Amino acid sequence: MMERLHRYDEELLLLEHTAAVLQWDQETFMPERAVEERSRQLSLLSEMMHRRITDPEIAAILHDLGADDAHPSGDPQLDPADRALVRRWWRQVSRMRKLPASWVKEFSELTSQAQVVWAQSRRNRDFSRFQTVLERIITMVRKKSELYGYEAHPYDPLLDEYEPDLTTERVESLFTPLKQDLVELLRRLEDTPAVEDRFLYQEYPADLQKHINTMVLEHMGFDWRRGRLDESAHPFTTALGADDVRITTRYHEPSGVSALFSAVHEGGHALYEQGARSGPLRGTSLGSGVSLALHESQSRLWEQMVGRSREFWIFWFPQFQQLFERQLQGVGLEQFLLAVNRVRPSCIRVDADEVTYSLHIMLRFELEKALVSGGLHAADLPHAWNEQMQSLVGSVPSHDGEGVLQDVHWSAGMFGYFPTYALGNLYAAQLYEQMNREIPDMRGQIVQGSYGEIHRWLKEQVHQWGGMYSSEELIHRVTGKPLDPGCFTGYLRRKYGVLYGV
C-alpha cells in the first residue's frame, strides 16, 4: 500500500512542479496578452490535482494504511517517514474532499486573472479596479471557510491551511503581548537622534546590484546548478523541481539595499527548499518546508539576523564601497550600519525594519479577520488600511500603491497567510539563539564572510527534515523548548539597545 501511495505522491508532485513553471513564467517573462489562456492552463492543472487528491482510490489506500480522523498518521508500525507521508495525505484528502472540483477550478481561474489586475492597479495606484475582483475573491474565500467548517471563527480554517492546527485565538494570544513589546520599544527609539540615510536613496545601477546579490547568495551556499535569480513585481521563491529552485527580486526600489535584502530573504527560502529536496525525503511531498511560518523563519534569519548584523557588514561594506564609490563617498561603516537598521515608520511591509515589521502583519491579520467575518467590506478597505496604519505604525500611505495594493497575496486568494510572517520572526530568533550556542565563533565566521557552518547547521537541524515534523515539534527538537516569543523581543532589545544606545 505504501508503494501505491508513493506513486500517487510522485505524480501529484510532478503536477505541482508543472503548475509552478507556468506561475513562475507568469510572474517573470510572460507577455501581458497571454494571461487569458495561462489562466485556463493553470485552472486545468488545479482541477487535475484536485481530482488526484480526491480520487476514491487514495481514500481507500489511506484507510488500508490505518488512517482516520483519530489516527491521521495511520498504522503505528509504519516507518516514521511513511507515517508522516500518510498524515500529510490524510490532511490533504480530508480538506480537499470538502471542496467541489468546480469551486477549485473557478477559484484558480479567478485568482490567476486577479494577479494581473492587481499588478496593473498597483502600477496605476488605483484600488477601484481591483476592488471588483477582490470582492469576488472574498466571497469565494468565505465559501471555502464554510466548506472546510469551523467551530470558533471563520478565519480558523484559513490559518490552518498555511500553518496546520493554528487558530485565530492562538494568534491573538501571541500577537497581543508581542504588539505591546514592539510598541514600547518603538516609542523608546522615537526619542533617539535621527539617522542619516539619504545616501541609500540614490541611483544604484541595477547591474552592480545584481553582481553583489550573486556574490552574497554564493557565500550563503545557494546552489546555482539547482536554481536561478530573476526579477518580478513582487519577490518570491518557487520550486519547479527537486533540482530547480528559483528566486526573484526587484531593482527599481528607492533604497540601494532593497534588492540585496530581498535577494538574501528569498535566498533563505531557497536554501530551505534546496536542503529539503536533497535530503532523505527527496522526491516526496515531504521534501519541502513544513509550514509557512518555519519557511519564513529561514528568510528572516538570513535577511535580518545575519544580513543586517555588524559582523555581516564588516565583511561586505568594503566591497559595497568599491561598487558604489560615488554613492557612498564619505560614508563609514558605523553610519552605514545605522542606516540599514534604521527604525522608521514605513508604509511598505517588505522595506519595514525589524521593530515595525510584525506590526504590519498585525494590521493585515486584523483586516483579514474582518473581511472574512463580514465586519469589513472591500470598498472600505483602503480607508481601514490607512486608519490602522496610522494607529499601529504611525505612517499613512500617500496612495493605494504603497498602501492597500502593495501585497500580491489577496489577489492570489491567500487569506490566512500573513500571520505566518510574524510567527517566522519568532521561530527565527529562537533558532538563531540556539545556533549561536552550538556554533563556536559564529560571529567571527560571519565577519570573515564564511557562512558554511551556519548553512550546515540549518541543513542538519531544520532543512533535511522537510515536512517530517510539525513546526512546534521541530522547534522543540532543535531548541529543547516550545516556541517562545521572548527570544525575539529579547533579540530586538539587545540589538537596538547597542545600535541606539538605549
Q: Report pLDDT for 351.
A: 78
Range of the domain at 17: 2-153
User: Has residue 163 been placed in a domain?
Assistant: no
Cα–Cα dist 182/490, whole Å: 11
For the stretch 290-343, pLDDT in tens is 999 999 999 999 999 999 999 999 999 999 999 999 999 999 999 999 999 999
The grid coordinates of residue 81 equal 517517514
Specify whether 254 is located in the same domain as 397.
yes
- DSSP E strand stretches across 210-271: 227-231, 237-241, 244-249
User: Has residue 161 been placed in a domain?
Assistant: no
User: Has residue 160 been placed in a domain?
Assistant: no
User: Has residue 289 been placed in a domain?
Assistant: yes
Specify whether 209 is located in the same domain as 134.
no
The grid coordinates of residue 136 equal 469576488
C-beta contacts of 198-207 below 8 A and 24+ residues apart: 199/327, 199/328, 199/331, 199/339, 200/255, 200/256, 200/257, 200/339, 200/340, 201/254, 201/255, 201/256, 202/256, 202/327, 203/327, 204/256, 204/324, 204/327, 206/251, 206/252, 206/259
Q: How many CB atoms lie within 10 A of CB 331?
A: 18
Q: Mean pLDDT for each consecutive 10-residue tract of the chain (502 residues)? A: 93 95 93 90 89 91 94 94 95 89 89 92 94 97 96 96 91 92 90 91 94 97 97 91 95 87 96 94 94 96 97 97 96 95 89 92 97 96 95 91 94 96 96 96 97 98 95 95 92 94 84
Specify whether 173 is located in the same domain as 145.
no
Q: Write out the DSSP string of 10-24.
A: HHHHHHHHHHHHHHH
User: Has residue 158 been placed in a domain?
Assistant: no
User: Has residue 162 been placed in a domain?
Assistant: no
Q: Report pLDDT for 344.
A: 87
Cα–Cα dist 45/33, whole Å: 20
Beta pairing class for 244-249 and 237-241:
antiparallel
Specify whether 440 is located in the same domain as 489.
yes
DSSP tag of 195: P
Specify whether 109 is located in the same domain as 218.
no
Q: Report pLDDT for 151.
A: 92
Identify the domain boundary among 103, 126, 153: 153
Active site residue 368: no
Specify whether 377 is located in the same domain as 229.
yes
User: Has residue 388 been placed in a domain?
Assistant: yes
Query: Which residue in 266, 303, 368, 472 is the catalytic one?
Result: 266
Specify whether 197 is located in the same domain as 117.
no
pTM: 0.89
Specify whether 187 is located in the same domain as 139.
no
- Comparing CA positions, the residue from 457, 98, 173 lying closest to residue 302 is 457
CATH number of the domain bearing residue 190: 1.10.1370.30
In contact, 158 and 415? CB cutoff 8 Å: yes
3-state secondary structure of 117: helix
Identify the domain boundary among 153, 178, 209: 153
| Count: domains in the chain | 2
The sign of the torsion formed by the CA atoms of 368, 373, 379, 381 equals negative
Identify the domain boundary among 114, 130, 153: 153
For the stretch 28-84, pLDDT in tens is 999 989 988 998 999 899 889 988 898 999 999 999 999 998 999 999 999 999 999
User: Has residue 452 been placed in a domain?
Assistant: yes
Specify whether 210 is located in the same domain as 136.
no
Tell me whether residue 274 is exposed, middle or buried, using C-beta atoms within 10 angstroms of its C-beta: 0 to 12, 13 to 18, 19 or more: buried
Specify whether 127 is located in the same domain as 201.
no
Q: Report pLDDT for 340.
A: 94
Specify whether 47 is located in the same domain as 16.
yes
Cα–Cα dist 155/142, whole Å: 9
Specify whether 205 is located in the same domain as 95.
no
